[in-house]
Structure 1
Amino acid sequence: MPATSPRTARPGTITAVIALSGVVVSLMQTLVVPIIPMLPRLLSAEPSDASWVITATLLAAAVVTPISGRLGDMYGKRGVLIGSLVALVAGSVLCAVSETLVPVIIGRVLQGLATGVIPVGISVLRDALPTERVGGAVSLVSASLGVGGAIGLPLSAAIVQYAHWHVLFWLAAGLGLLCLVLMAAALPASPSRAPGRFDFPGAIGLAAGLVALLLPITKGGDWGWTSGTTLGLLAGGVVVLVLWAAYETRTVHPLVDLRVTVRRPVLFTNLASILVGFAMYAMSLTLPQLLQSPEATGYGLGQSTLAAGLALAPGGLVMMALSPVSARITARHGARATLLIGVAVIGAGYGVGLMMMSELWQIVVTSMVVSGGVGIAYAAMPALITGAVPVTETASANGVNALMRSIGTSTSSAVMAAILANMTTRLGPVEVPTEHGFRMTYVVALLAAVVGILLTLVIPRVPRTAAQSNAGPSSPEASRPATEHH
């Protein structure tokens, strides 16, 4: 193969650029967490309206991941990655120059649209890297999800404490611009293209169904879980998605090939992904609140926002450190075993955490163990998906998998918030979550990990033949979907 081919063009540089972009994109999820209590005052808005600054990004990310994946498969992954980073920069600048709610929400939507960088970037690795380097690169990029989220908390807390809140978004714009320049310079054009036309009706139907389904999940606490708006949107979302699925099975060039999605390796990997996303976000929501609860409660640790963020930051470093370990486990035992180990470690982290909640170092250990499990599990998911779909479906299939994780995190946000809001005790003029409430969040996350283990066990084993092991990502062996073994 000529030296100028995409597969041999600077594999280390390509991996580094995609991993850095993944860190920056995932940083957007936790960027505004330290200023959530201040948003109503900063934007002159009601608290329920200000919460749209968070909700808008979650919804945009959920909608865009499968759509950007399909666009990447059809029209080229490089263009989609560059377009996603342009949206991130534009959204960040808009937020940085805004003082009112509506433009900040629009900017946060644009930031959320960049989430497609991660699944599309993972699929690029299959096209652009030598076969022997794909596993390690996928593990590293997958770890960038946790690293961005982990470093985002202390970084944004420090900025808010010592500078104007607009600096958060100027920093995001600068990092996004850096990634955009590097991506344009380093990334080759993708050689694999899916045939056909883009499924606009399918994209509209999927977006409508997901928004109707996820919006009441994220806003149900404000609206009331039994309100007509919440129940109506939930029912409407289910109906729209059922109709969308019926349409997708009948169209010639679907947005999501459901025939591939319902194969056992893909289906159960996606279901397990929901549980892993749920367990991961439970940690992100629960541990900071426990760390910042007043010491007067008898169980709170009384840490500042900055100190709490710093305490959880090592978890992101653990994810990054374990990425080569994940790759070696996958190379030796297969991605199914890697996912099983990762979910089991998550469960062990919450199990240990139930008995270790009284000291700062104990919370740090719990965070590191759970983060390590998440990193291992996240590294396995793209490998399982990529090994079970044709090469022309890798971006869209990884986009659907990222969507499943988004559904898990959104559901976790609603469940954990409901638990902590309904198990409170009064401390002076305010109510704070009880120790039992925090323990209950651990138990629910542990149960999610157990269900994730059961789902992983249902994923069929795929024998690693010599032909499969040596086949390049664009060879016939690698392009053909993995055969199911029951």
Structure 2
Amino acid sequence: MGSHGPRARRLRLLAAAVADRSGTTGAAARPAHDGLRGRLDLHHLSARRVGRDANRWTPRRHVWQEAGARITLFALALGTLIGAIATSLPMMIVARLIQGMGGAIFPLSFGIIRDVLPREKVASSIALISGLLGIGGGLGIVLAGPILETLSYHWLFWIPFVVTLGAAVIAVVAIPESEIRAKGDIHWLGAALLSTWLTALLLAVSESSKWGWGSTKTVGLIAGSLVVAAWWVVAELKSEHPLVDMRMMRLPGVWTTNLAAILLGFGMYSGFVLIPQFVQTPTSTGYGFGATVTQSGLFLVPTTITMLICSNIGGRLSTVVGSKVPLVVGAIVTTLGFVVLVFTSAKWEVYLASALMGVGIGFAFAALANLIVEAVPSHQTGVASGMNTVVRTIGGAIGAEVAATILAANVKGLYPDKHGYTVTFLVCTLVLLVGVGASLLVPRRSSRDAHVSGLPAMASE
């Protein structure tokens, strides 16, 4: 029911519900809330990384892509079912681990689209998938509040379970087989090292607001993750069958797109967290709107609607002028959305910022997926798009925790003051401006090269 940003929003609702059950409220609830959400998010993201690389686990790549899509959906349904019946934190962590494997569905989908559909329809189809992410995310944001208020947090899992199980059944019936085959094997050392450095990095980031960015734990974990990441790169370069081809990652069309993804993810995902918190702040603070959990979700409805519309428009633009143009446009428009938030003082301004964010995310995320698909050979589509999603997720995780740190440093009483939010929105704006610059570095490809010939102009088979 959505991408990482909306999913993180539901995690916060879940963490808040559990913290509330423990009897903590207001500022005292923050450590319990952040610690629980960080642990759930960490296990979930770690499993997503494993799931995205699963399409390397068989010599017959495309057979795995179709079977993998079905297995992934059933695994996601199983994890969601366990979450629905969970009554303890360890059980919830198990549920999130299994759910995290659902992260493989999008790289697998992009690979299937590229292999099965006519080349001229690839860009628009990938953009449509990105748009559906917006729909699912929007539904998750809007529905999570009323579900939590009127039912219980268990229903945050029961409803997605029914939807996911239905999608899995449809996948069994509807996904066609492809004649494309490519040999491959799993590099176990690479998988272990990748999981290790990602886990260390995400743990440091997720706990930074509690430990402090300068604490021994945070610095040690980040330093350790960098050392293991360097070891991982060396191991992958030496392997005959690397989990992630480092030569592919060095392609101009890949590394520039990933750089743009991590910077845009920092700002874009932060909006999903900051806007609901901002509008829920009581009016007694002098700046908040006192919105309920349900009402705060409505402030992101414009994001959902414009994201859906603009992802489809972005896909059409990609076929006409190439994918770089919608990426740059999306980065600029999202930046403008945060500029509005810096100066916001009325509800309509928040709605305007929300709409601008949706336009920007719709253009940019569809373009990011297409740029990666265009830049690599067909047999590397799943791995390349999976890594792009991972770096985007890392950017989002860092952005959310940087925002939390700034707000925590500006708490007066039970809530952050207006200055804290202004600084946070300004930091996101500056990072997004750097993201605009990164998007300009992405090599331009003609629409003919990208969507008619189907051959990656910046990579060779």
TM exceeding 0.5: yes
Aligned letter for 2:53?
Answer: I
Residue 43 of structure 2 corresponds to residue 56 of structure 1:
yes
**Aligned ranges 1:242-391 → 2 under 5 Å:** 242-355=230-343, 357-391=344-378
Aligned residues: 450
The CA RMSD over aligned residues, in Å, is 2.2
Q: What's 1:68 paired with? A: 54
Report the 3-state secondary structure (helix = DSSP H, G, I; strand = E; otherwise coil) of the residue aligned with 2:234. helix
Superposed displacement of residue 149, structure 1: 2.4
* Distance verdict in 2 for CA 1:436–1:28, change over 3 Å: closer
How far apart, CA to CA, are the structure 2 residues paired with 1:102 and 1:147? 31
Report the 3-state secondary structure (helix = DSSP H, G, I; strand = E; otherwise coil) of the residue aligned with 2:291. coil
**Aligned ranges 1:414-429 → 2 under 5 Å:** 414-426=401-413
**Aligned ranges 1:115-264 → 2 under 5 Å:** 115-264=103-252
The answer to whether the Cα contact below 8 Å between 2:320 and 2:447 also exists between their aligned partners in 1 is no
Report the 3-state secondary structure (helix = DSSP H, G, I; strand = E; otherwise coil) of the residue aligned with 1:348. helix
The answer to whether the Cα contact below 8 Å between 1:266 and 1:385 also exists between their aligned partners in 2 is yes
Superposed displacement of residue 132, structure 1: 2.5
Q: What's 2:395 paired with? A: 408
Aligned letter for 1:364?
Answer: Y
How far apart, CA to CA, are the structure 1 residues paired with 2:185 and 2:374? 25
How far apart, CA to CA, are the structure 1 residues paired with 2:4 and 2:398? 21
Aligned letter for 1:59?
Answer: S
Q: What's 2:452 paired with? A: 470
Report the 3-state secondary structure (helix = DSSP H, G, I; strand = E; otherwise coil) of the residue aligned with 1:194. coil
Residue 22 of structure 2 corresponds to residue 39 of structure 1:
no
Q: Deviations over 1:396-443 (max 9, x none)?
A: 1100111111111111111010011111222xxxx2111111111111
How far apart, CA to CA, are the structure 2 residues paired with 1:33 and 1:97? 19
Aligned letter for 2:184?
Answer: G
Superposed displacement of residue 353, structure 1: 2.5
* Distance verdict in 2 for CA 1:35–1:212, change over 3 Å: closer
Superposed displacement of residue 143, structure 1: 2.2
Q: What's 1:6 paired with? A: none
Q: Deviations over 1:286-327 (max 9, x none)?
A: 111110001011111110000000221221111111122102
How far apart, CA to CA, are the structure 2 residues paired with 1:469 and 1:167? 42
The answer to whether the Cα contact below 8 Å between 1:58 and 1:410 also exists between their aligned partners in 2 is no
How far apart, CA to CA, are the structure 2 residues paired with 1:280 and 1:69? 28
TM-score (norm. length: structure 1): 0.87
Q: What's 2:88 paired with? A: 100
**Aligned ranges 1:431-446 → 2 under 5 Å:** 431-446=414-429
Aligned letter for 1:437?
Answer: G
* Distance verdict in 2 for CA 1:268–1:480, change over 3 Å: closer
Residue 439 of structure 2 corresponds to residue 453 of structure 1:
no
Superposed displacement of residue 383, structure 1: 1.2
Q: Deviations over 1:92-139 (max 9, x none)?
A: 111211211100111012112211111221221111212232221111
Determine what percentage of the aligned residue pairs are the same residue: 31
Superposed displacement of residue 361, structure 1: 1.9
Q: Deviations over 1:190-215 (max 9, x none)?
A: 43333132112111110111101111
The answer to whether the Cα contact below 8 Å between 2:187 and 2:243 also exists between their aligned partners in 1 is yes
Structure 2 residues without counterparts, runs of 5 or longer: 25-30
The answer to whether the Cα contact below 8 Å between 2:211 and 2:218 also exists between their aligned partners in 1 is yes
Residue 367 of structure 2 corresponds to residue 395 of structure 1:
no
Report the 3-state secondary structure (helix = DSSP H, G, I; strand = E; otherwise coil) of the residue aligned with 2:300. helix
Q: Which shows bigger deviation, 49-58 or 383-392?
A: 49-58
* Distance verdict in 2 for CA 1:193–1:279, change over 3 Å: farther
Q: What's 1:7 paired with? A: none
Aligned letter for 1:119?
Answer: P
How far apart, CA to CA, are the structure 1 residues paired with 2:406 and 2:51? 29
* Distance verdict in 2 for CA 1:285–1:452, change over 3 Å: same
Superposed displacement of residue 384, structure 1: 0.9
Report the 3-state secondary structure (helix = DSSP H, G, I; strand = E; otherwise coil) of the residue aligned with 1:31. helix
Structure 1 residues without counterparts, runs of 5 or longer: 1-21, 472-477
Superposed displacement of residue 457, structure 1: 1.4
The answer to whether the Cα contact below 8 Å between 1:56 and 1:108 also exists between their aligned partners in 2 is yes
Report the 3-state secondary structure (helix = DSSP H, G, I; strand = E; otherwise coil) of the residue aligned with 1:95. helix
Superposed displacement of residue 65, structure 1: 5.4
How far apart, CA to CA, are the structure 1 residues paired with 2:171 and 2:3? 13
Superposed displacement of residue 395, structure 1: 0.8
* Distance verdict in 2 for CA 1:150–1:264, change over 3 Å: same
Superposed displacement of residue 469, structure 1: 4.5
How far apart, CA to CA, are the structure 2 residues paired with 1:390 and 1:108? 32
